[in-house]
Amino acid sequence: MAFAGTVVGNEARGGLLLSYCISGDVSALKIPAPSTPGATDGLWQHTCFEAFVAVPGEAAYREFNFATSGQWAAYRFSDERVRDTAHELAQELAEPHMDTSRDAHTLRLQVWLARSALPTPAAGQPLQWGLTAVVEDLRGQLSYWALHHPAARPDFHHRGGLALPLFDPSSPPKTPHEIWY
């Protein structure tokens, strides 16, 4: 199996497009069937795609989970693994729009996420992203995929995993390798 993820800005829609792809023998995976879209906890217990996003130097961060079923979850943390449920309840999140496609060798999920769901960096400062996937096989075994695993064991909440800096297009790039949103 292989995992890839990208984030690109979509100013016309006022948000970002997150694209995830798992390639390999997709028939060996347990993939959630389409169901009624909506906010749902516990998606990480089965095949789902995730995004972690933070402002550099701040302890707070956000986590988003997206399932091929159309269900999703959004969490705010004030520090590593410390949920900030007061802020979660106070913010009404625009429901993400998801499109899933699948063939014998690939599973793709594209998610449009409103910019209002994201933390706001200072001018010229990037958002740091970690794109991840939890993949369940037909035996119920889970594997954990990320663009970067900073430790020996997968830990999506580890700040070292937020390795993808994305800058606002109004900020000048600092290096040619930065990806902008």
Q: Which domains does the chain have, with CATH numbers?
A: 2-180 (2.60.40)
Per-residue pLDDT tens over the stretch 53-81: 999 999 999 999 999 999 999 999 999 99
CA atoms within 13 A on the CB side of 21: 12
Mean pLDDT of the chain: 88
- List alpha helices for 54-130, DSSP H: 85-90
Q: How far is CA 57 from CA 41, 61, 92, in A?
A: 28, 10, 25
User: pLDDT tier at 15 (50, 70, 90 boundaries)?
Assistant: confident
Residues 6+ positions from 126 with CB-CB distance below 8 Å: 56, 165, 166, 167, 178
